[in-house]
Structure formats: structure tokens, C-alpha cells
Amino acid sequence: MSDVIQLLPDHVANQIAAGEVVQRPASVVKELLENAIDAKATHIKLIVKDSGRTLIQVVDNGIGMSVTDARLCFERHATSKIKTAEDLFNLHTKGFRGEALASIAAIAHVDVTTKRAQDELATHIKIEGSEVLSQESSAAPEGTSLAVKNLFYNVPARRNFLKSNQVELRHIIDEFQRVALVHPDVRFALFHNGTELFQLPAVPLRQRIVGIFGSKTNEKLVPISENTEIVSISGFIVKPEFSKKTRGSQFFFVNGRYIKSSYLHHAIKSAYEGLLPSGSHPGYFIYLNVPSETIDINIHPTKTEVKFEDEHSLYAILRSTAKHSLGQFNIAPVLDFDRNPSLDTNYSQQNSSPSSPKISVDTSFNPFDNSTSNFPKKPSAEGWEQLYEGLEATTPEKTETIETSLFEESQDRPLATTFQLQRKYIVSTIRSGMVLIHQHRAHQRVLYENFLRLFSSDSAPSQSLLFPLVLSYSKKEVVMLQDFRVTLEHLGFAFGVFEGETIEVLGIHSSLSESDVMEVFDTFLSNLSKDLPDHGFSLNDHFAKILAQCAAIKSGDLLDLPSQEGLVNDLFACKEPDRSPFGKPVFTTLTLDEIEKKLDA
Ligand code: ADP
Ligand code: MG
């Protein structure tokens, strides 16, 4: 038999390598920005069209390339950054594999113009699918402009794998911010479809953070700093009172690279112990510098994990440094009973009066007549009403009771059919025994179906706010939210100013309260960075879930009797009362048989 092994042609090998290096437009952004930094640029402009699908261009004023280098840089393993394996252990550049440009050129149309200071003319090269189409001299300023067009034009599978424009743009902005946060001394700009999203002048770190995350950020930051043999730490942590319900600004950089580390995150989290409202996340911008021989830098280009030699010490130092900063700026409590009570309050409830139930209740409520329910009842409620059959005799009397005055009501209500357990569950009797309802999930279900219904109606009930609610976000966040403005308006939101770093809310849907609004936006923003499944994903559904999640009464909220009954009634008028919108069980029943069995045992 003849030999069967062949060497793959370069363009095929490059395309395969590209699969690892370039997963999405944001990967190209990362590689090009890092190359510009490595080229010592002080001014870097990123221009993107259609979330990177049609164009990703980085223009820098760095050292540029010679004619030969401009040709060579698209070859695999072509790098100016290391010469020997030992160099790997003393690396001061972002790139070193010489793989990025070769990979990118294999799966896109690339256009590069580059000029060194000592050269008279610039070199202009066009490449498509690893093939050089043209090379000429041209006039251009010093530095490099590299444009990547029609990404994945020859890899349809990859192209189809891309997420929505919002998600891809969000990834691009994330990469841009990560690089910008490490190099505050470099001036950056980002344009998307002709709109300027960021213009970041060269400034000290604190101003860079503020430039990215909005002017309100300044007051939230506390500096953190420590120097030891193992590590030097600098940066900022966010004061606990500004912590968010959603994971927001959490950044670790090690030797100038953005990394993710749940281990180090835990160190910070534990430094905040007792200072954060439950369910809140700390924010931080932490820069670690460690001797390069103590970390494994030979990491995969798209991976953000890193291996440290002495993780345990790093953890301890980081934790105590963060604690120290929190304490030094008088943020940590001296003693627990001295604690600022506002810190104990659930973030979302901080500005609202304590738990007045938000569900509206019809006082002429009759639990056995679904026509009085808040929401239209589905013709067949899957047989739920029959659970109540055994109680029908009490109906008229009960209805009357609720309609009479408060004082009489309290005396004449021997037949209350619901009560609240631990401010968490509503217990109600049913024909066959009793039902235990998770109040938060039940209300989520009710609101969710209500919101879904609103999407198919013309207009949602909106209530005007007495005073406009002015919310501050970063420019990026306002841009992201802008895409959903129309949807939000359909759901009863009314806006005034909606640009720059400000969103002015003039009206909200009547089942939301003012204090929910921030949580709604925060949740929505943090969901955008997740890869929402393409399959079966519907924006309306997504929105209805977020609104329901934020607006629903919480565990811990005290509900009066009419609210309890209203909720039970509304729940069982739902299409799917037994599951929360997130698939969790809403209630459980205990039948008389089961009770008797337990008692007879
Ligand atoms: P790496 O960054 O790992 O060396 P790349 O494929 O990203 O590999 O780049 C290959 C080489 O091309 C770099 O080593 C550098 O010499 C050159 N290069 C790439 N981008 C630029 C740029 N913007 N300015 C100057 N030189 C560049
Ligand atoms: Mg590179």
C-alpha cells in the first residue's frame, strides 16, 4: 500500500488554526488591539461595522512594519516578539505566537497599510483567504491600519454560529474595555456603524475607569495597594454600598492581561464579608503584578485563565489588602452592632418603603369566581377550580366579609382560607387538603403571563412618575439599552433623555415600582453579556421574565390577607400555575390522606 500521509497546505492549516484563535468578531478585536499595543502605539482607533461582521479596523500610530515584515506577518509562526524558547519566560508583549494574523487572513478579507518612521512610503497589502491579491506602495501616516472585512466569509458554519448583533457588539466592547483598562496612558476611540461609542484620552487609571463606566463611578472607587515579594497589587475596589445585584464590573489583570479567576474573586468577596447586602456582588478593578516566572504565561490566546505558582499566598494577600482598603476608608464596620443599617437592606428595597405588597387587590374579591381576577382567566384553567369545590358553601359569606369595614372584618373572619408562613409561603385550603404556595415564584408566574399578554396588545398601562427618575449608566450601557427602548416603551415605560450617560424615566408599567426600575435595567444589561440561546430564544419572553423577576413580591415581604387571596386567585388563573417562568415549582399540596397517614403512623 502506498503512503497516505500528506502535509496540509498552509491555507488549510491556517484555517484550522483560525478555528481556535478566532471564535467571534471580538477575538479579532482583541488580537488587533494587542498588536497595536505591542507596536507601542499611543493612539488607537477601533472602527467596527455591523458588530464586526462586515468590518473590524484598528488604526494605530505605532512603529509600523517594513515591506518584508508586512508580507511576513501573515505567515504562521511569524513573530517579532520572541526568538528563543527562553524568551517565553521574560515576556513583555501581549502576543508571541505569531498566529493571529495568519489565522485572521485565512478567514477574512484583510487590508493592511503600514509605515515605519524611517520609510518614505507605506506598504499596502490585500489578502483574501491567505492569498495575497495585491501589494503596492502608498502614502500614509506612520503606524498601521489593519482592516478585517467579511469575517468568516469562507466558513459559513462559523458565521451562522454568531449570536445576535447586540451580543457580538457587547463582546467587542468588553474586549475593548479590557485593553483600555490596562493602558490608560494610551488614547483609545471606538466607533460602531459611524457612531462614536468611546473617546478615551490618555489619563491616569482612575479617570480611565470613570471614562469607561461613567462619571458617577468616581465616588464609588476606593484605591487598593500592596507590595510584597510575591505580588504587587494596585487598582480600585467599589464601595460596598454601590454593589450590584448583578455581576457587573469585576476585573482582574495579571501582568497586563485580563484574567478570570473564581479563586481570586472569592478572596475579594470574603474581604467584603458582612458589608454586602445578600445577593449583591462586589465590583473591582485589580491589577496584579507577579514575577513572570511564577505564572504560566503559555496560555491559550482565547483563554483567560492563568496558573499561579503560589495561589494560596496570593489569596491571603489579596484578601487582607482589600479588607485593609475597605477599613481604611471607614467602610468596614468597627463592630457589628455599629453597622450602618442601610447596608443590611436588600439593595432593591433600599429606597422604597418596607414591603408594602405591590399586587393590586380587588376588595370585592371572590376566590371562587375567577371573573373578578386581575387577569383574564383562561377558559379552562386545567381543572384547578375543582380543588376548591369542597369549599363552595362558604363563598357568599366570605365575599361579604371582605366588603364590610375593617373592624367588623377582623371579628367576622373565622373563615380565612389563606395565611402566610414565614413571609415566604402562602398556605391555602383546598378540597383535598392544603396547598403551600411559594409567594415569590407565584407572583413571578402571574406577572410573567401578564407581561407576555401585553406584548400582543396595543398599549401597556403606564403610570407617570411624579418626578422623573434619572439613572446614570456608562455610555456603553446606554447604547445597549437604546436597542430595547421601543420594546420597553411598548411595556409601559416612558423616557425623556436617553443618551450619553443618562436615562430619564418618566413613566413605568403599573405593576412595577420605582425601585424596581434599576434592577430591571441592571438585570437586562447583565443578561446581554451571556450567550442567550439562539434556538427558541424570544426577546419578548426574555423581557417578560426579567420584568417578572424584578417586580415580583419577594420572600420576606409581608402580605395582608386580601393580597394573599388575590395572589392565590391570580396564580390559578394562569396558564401554567405550577411552574415559575424559570421552571421552578410554585406550590406543593398536602392531601388529607397524606396528613392522616402521617398522624396515624
Ligand atoms: P504575534 O503578535 O503573536 O507576534 P501576530 O500574528 O499577531 O503575532 O503578528 C505577527 C507580527 O506582525 C508581530 O509579531 C509584529 O511584528 C507584526 N505586527 C502585527 N500587527 C502590527 C502592528 N499593528 N504594528 C506593527 N507590527 C505589527
Ligand atoms: Mg498578535
Pocket probe mutation, ligand 1, options 21, 22, 33, 35, max atoms within 8 Å of Cβ: 35
- Using the predicted structure, report yes or no on whether residue 363 has a pLDDT greater than 60: no
Q: What is the pLDDT of residues 36-80, one digit of tens each?
A: 999 999 999 999 999 999 999 999 999 999 999 999 999 888 888
User: What pLDDT does 353 receive?
Assistant: 40
Q: Is the CB of 116 under 6 A from ligand 1?
A: no
Q: Which three cell numbers stand for residue 366?
A: 371572590
| 42 CA distance to ligand 2 middle (Å) | 17
User: What pLDDT does 393 receive?
Assistant: 37
| 51 CA distance to ligand 1 middle (Å) | 23
Element (H, E) at 580: none
Name the closest-CA residue to atom 8, ligand 1: 98
Give the residue-averaged pLDDT of 422-443: 90
| 80 CA distance to ligand 1 middle (Å) | 7
Measured at the CA of 521, the angle between CA 517 and CA 525, to 5 degrees, comes to 170
Which amino acid is located at 262 in the chain?
A: S
pLDDT, greater one: 147 or 373: 147
Q: What is the pLDDT of residues 198-246, one digit of tens each?
A: 999 999 999 999 999 988 889 899 999 999 999 999 999 999 888 877 6
The alpha carbon of 414 is separated from its chain's Cα centroid by a whole number of angstroms, namely 49
Q: Is the CB of 254 under 6 A from ligand 1?
A: no
Q: How confident is the model at residue 294 (pLDDT cuts 50, 70, 90)?
A: confident
463 vs 447, 512, 553, CA distance in Å? 17, 9, 19
| 64 CA distance to ligand 1 middle (Å) | 9
Q: How confident is the model at residue 298 (pLDDT cuts 50, 70, 90)?
A: low
| 33 CA distance to ligand 2 middle (Å) | 8
| 23 CA distance to ligand 2 middle (Å) | 15
The alpha carbon of 570 is separated from its chain's Cα centroid by a whole number of angstroms, namely 32
Q: Is the CB of 257 under 6 A from ligand 1?
A: no
User: What pLDDT does 467 receive?
Assistant: 83
Helix (H/G/I), strand (E/B), else coil: 384: helix
Q: Which atom of ligand 1 is nearest to the CA of 100?
A: 6
User: What pLDDT does 438 receive?
Assistant: 95
| 405 CA distance to ligand 1 middle (Å) | 80
CB atoms within 10 A of CB 420: 18
User: What pLDDT does 150 receive?
Assistant: 96
Helix (H/G/I), strand (E/B), else coil: 161: helix
| 232 CA distance to ligand 1 middle (Å) | 29
Ligand nearest to the CA of 65: 1
d(CA 477, CA 251): 17
Ligand nearest to the CA of 81: 1
Q: Is the CB of 35 under 6 A from ligand 1?
A: yes
Q: How confident is the model at residue 297 (pLDDT cuts 50, 70, 90)?
A: low
Q: Is the CB of 144 under 6 A from ligand 1?
A: yes
User: What pLDDT does 451 receive?
Assistant: 83
Counting residues of the chain whose pLDDT is more than 70, the rounded percentage is: 81
d(CA 152, CA 168): 14
| 79 CA distance to ligand 1 middle (Å) | 6
Pocket probe mutation, ligand 1, options 27, 38, 115, 144, max atoms within 8 Å of Cβ: 38
Q: What is the pLDDT of residues 152-188, one digit of tens each?
A: 999 888 888 888 888 899 899 999 999 999 999 999 9
Mention every residue, 6+ apart, whose C-beta is less than 8 A from residue 380: none
Comparing 225-229, 314-318, 335-339, 478-482, which segment has the lowest mean pLDDT?
335-339
- Using the predicted structure, report yes or no on whether residue 304 has a pLDDT greater than 80: no
**Start-to-end C-alpha separation, the chain:** 79
Q: Is the CB of 97 under 6 A from ligand 1?
A: yes
Highest mean pLDDT among 145-149, 163-167, 258-262, 475-479: 145-149
pLDDT, greater one: 395 or 310: 310
Instruction: Quote the pTM value.
Output: 0.66
Ligand nearest to the CA of 82: 1
Tell me the torsion sign for CA atoms 173, 486, 163, 285: positive
Contact 175, 453 (CB under 8 A): no
Q: Is the CB of 95 under 6 A from ligand 1?
A: yes
d(CA 418, CA 565): 7
Comparing 211-225, 403-417, 575-589, which segment has the lowest mean pLDDT?
403-417
- Using the predicted structure, report yes or no on whether residue 331 has a pLDDT greater than 60: no
The alpha carbon of 376 is separated from its chain's Cα centroid by a whole number of angstroms, namely 34
Q: Is the CB of 71 under 6 A from ligand 1?
A: no
d(CA 131, CA 70): 14
Helix (H/G/I), strand (E/B), else coil: 596: helix
User: What pLDDT does 372 receive?
Assistant: 38
Nearest alpha-carbon partner for 346 in 502, 550, 586 = 550
Q: How confident is the model at residue 416 (pLDDT cuts 50, 70, 90)?
A: low
Ligand nearest to the CA of 103: 1
Counting residues of the chain whose pLDDT is more than 90, the rounded percentage is: 39
Q: What is the pLDDT of residues 461-519, one digit of tens each?
A: 778 888 888 888 888 888 888 877 887 888 788 999 988 888 999 988 877 888 788 88
| 584 CA distance to ligand 2 middle (Å) | 46
Relative to beta strand 232-238, strand 284-289 is antiparallel
Give the residue-averaged pLDDT of 566-595: 90
Calculated CA dihedral for residues 83, 84, 89, 92, nearest 10 degrees: 0
Element (H, E) at 425: strand 425-430
Q: What is the pLDDT of residues 515-548, one digit of tens each?
A: 788 888 888 777 766 655 443 346 778 888 888 8
Contact 343, 275 (CB under 8 A): yes
Q: Which atom of ligand 1 is nearest to the CA of 58?
A: 23
Give the residue-averaged pLDDT of 253-280: 88
User: What pLDDT does 51 receive?
Assistant: 94
Could you tell me the maximum CA-CA distance found in the chain, to the nearest angstrom? Answer: 100
Strand order in the sheet with 43-49: 131-138, 122-128, 109-115, 143-149, 55-60, 43-49, 187-192, 195-200
d(CA 590, CA 200): 62
Name the closest-CA residue to atom 9, ligand 1: 98
User: What pLDDT does 160 receive?
Assistant: 84
| 379 CA distance to ligand 2 middle (Å) | 63
In terms of Cβ atoms closer than 10 Å to its own Cβ (0-12, 13-18, 19+), residue 138 is exposed
- Mean pLDDT, the chain, rounded, equals 81
Q: What is the pLDDT of residues 100-144, one digit of tens each?
A: 999 999 999 999 999 999 999 999 999 999 999 999 999 999 999
User: What pLDDT does 144 receive?
Assistant: 98
| 306 CA distance to ligand 1 middle (Å) | 23
pLDDT, greater one: 175 or 554: 175
- Using the predicted structure, report yes or no on whether residue 191 has a pLDDT greater than 60: yes
Nearest alpha-carbon partner for 205 in 176, 228, 182, 231 = 182
Pocket probe mutation, ligand 1, options 101, 104, 107, 144, max atoms within 8 Å of Cβ: 101
Name the closest-CA residue to atom 14, ligand 1: 79
User: What pLDDT does 5 receive?
Assistant: 86
Q: How confident is the model at residue 300 (pLDDT cuts 50, 70, 90)?
A: low
Name the closest-CA residue to atom 13, ligand 1: 79
